[in-house]
């Protein structure tokens, strides 16, 4: 909540990708107005959680949100976007929490019952706690089911991708002991669907635009690891031994990005997962302990949480409505107005003498590398769009 001129202003947070903006987003924003005066959106940047470039760049998607009533748009770092639903949700919720003034989290869900979703979230937390020993989810995954199907079978209800995200939002709120109140809005099947809309849009940047750089990195990894016990791809975030072996078998094959992804797809290896791994290879997003790791993260397992505090010491604001710029002075976390190199240099110059940063050179290095990774992600996206 923000207090302005003696009046309390309720703040609503939403997590979106707007890939692209559609009727469902309009309905969500209309519902948000019932609960608050200010809407804060956290959104993926030029890459989205499906493991693809956005159908439109982040500037266009930010404008769509602001033109439809959002007051401020904040970017989810690419390292969290190209991750599982669990960490995508954690990164988004952490941003809202760090702002220090968000009252509500409003999200769309087929289930649309917060108490029911909380029960599901508790079941998932128990499953995750027991995952390393034995759990129904683990057995389902070993049987070749996707995570969505494995989770649905445990809960006893068919869950959509939005339901799974909703559950992860609630888990993140609980783990952070957040005071942000969740509100579920019924998600309806609008026509055309987001998938149908994406199919109709002529994209400036596609996954296949990244074919050459992906093929080069995979072939380089094979040559570099020849005669060695360890492959350099083992350091890549989300990479498993099974996935690495599968990629290496295709190293010399002449294929497009999408053809390679389809060839590697199996029952329990989804296209979205494969594409996220591919972009982590391209952007060099690495696991914890890897030399010059752009983000201090660990393997995507239930027992290894992301070190969210490290990577989100600085947030990136993509856009602010003109009449809402006063909100910026209430943000408690250091922020950038974009990931442009000039903005990055200004940040480094301004905060390099900060006592908090000077206390730990390792943390400063990680922060610097995180920002550089996001700058590189933007540069390569726009470069591909011009080819």
Q: Span 2-110+160-200: which CATH code?
A: 3.40.50.620
Strand partners, 199: none
Separation CA 169–CA 344 (nearest Å): 30
Instruction: Report CA-CA distances (Å) from 369 to 291, 361, 363, 366.
Output: 12, 12, 10, 5
Domain boundaries, the chain: 2-110+160-200, 207-283
User: 34: burial class by Cβ within 10 Å (0-12, 13-18, 19+)?
Assistant: exposed
Per-residue pLDDT of the chain (387 residues; tens, 9 = 90+): 887 777 889 999 999 999 999 999 999 999 999 999 999 999 999 999 999 999 999 999 999 999 999 999 999 999 899 998 988 999 999 999 999 999 999 999 999 999 999 999 998 888 776 665 567 887 887 787 878 888 898 888 989 889 999 999 999 999 999 999 999 999 988 778 888 899 899 888 999 999 999 999 999 999 988 777 778 898 888 899 999 999 999 998 999 999 999 999 998 789 999 999 999 999 988 876 544 333 333 333 322 333 344 557 788 899 999 999 999 999 988 888 764 444 545 555 554 444 444 445 555 555 666 777 888 898 899 889 865
Separation of CA 207 from chain center? 17
Q: pTM of the predicted model, to two decimals?
A: 0.88
CB 68 within 8 A of CB 145: no
């Amino acid at each position: 909540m923000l207090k302005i001129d003696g009046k309390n202003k309720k703040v609503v947070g939403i997590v979106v990708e707007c890939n692209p903006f559609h009727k469902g987003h309009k309905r969500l924003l209309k519902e948000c107005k019932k609960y608050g005066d200010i809407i804060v959106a956290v959104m993926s940047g030029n890459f989205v959680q499906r493991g693809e470039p956005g159908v439109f760049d982040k500037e266009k998607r930010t404008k769509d949100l602001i033109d439809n009533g959002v007051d401020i748009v904040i970017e989810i770092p690419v390292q969290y976007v190209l991750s599982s639903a669990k960490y995508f949700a954690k990164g988004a919720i952490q941003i809202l929490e760090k702002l220090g003034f968000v009252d509500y989290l409003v999200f769309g869900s087929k289930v649309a019952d917060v108490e029911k979703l909380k029960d599901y979230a508790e079941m998932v937390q128990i499953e995750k706690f027991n995952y390393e020993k034995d759990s129904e989810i683990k057995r389902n995954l070993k049987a070749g089911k996707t995570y969505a199907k494995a989770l649905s079978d445990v809960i006893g209800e068919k869950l959509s991708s939005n339901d799974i995200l909703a559950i992860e939002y609630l888990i993140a709120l609980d783990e952070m002991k957040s005071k942000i109140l969740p509100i579920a809005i019924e998600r309806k099947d609008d026509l055309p669907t987001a998938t149908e809309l994406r199919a109709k849009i002529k994209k400036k940047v596609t996954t296949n635009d990244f074919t050459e750089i992906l093929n080069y990195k995979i072939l380089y990894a094979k040559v570099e690891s020849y005669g060695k016990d360890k492959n350099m791809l083992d350091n890549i975030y989300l990479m498993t031994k099974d996935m690495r072996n599968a990629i290496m078998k295709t190293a010399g094959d002449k294929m497009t990005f999408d053809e390679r992804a389809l060839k590697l797809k199996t029952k329990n290896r989804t296209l979205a997962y494969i594409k996220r791994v591919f972009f982590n290879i391209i952007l060099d997003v690495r696991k914890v302990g890897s030399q010059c790791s752009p983000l201090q993260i660990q393997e995507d397992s239930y027992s290894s949480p992301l070190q969210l505090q490290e990577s989100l010491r600085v947030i990136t604001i993509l856009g602010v409505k003109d009449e809402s710029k006063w909100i910026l002075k209430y943000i408690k976390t250091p922020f950038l107005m974009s990931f442009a190199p000039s903005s990055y240099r200004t940040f480094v110059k301004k905060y390099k003498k900060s006592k908090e940063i000077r206390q730990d050179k390792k943390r400063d290095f990680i922060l610097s590398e995180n920002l550089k990774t996001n700058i590189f992600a933007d540069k390569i996206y726009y470069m591909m769009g011009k080819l």
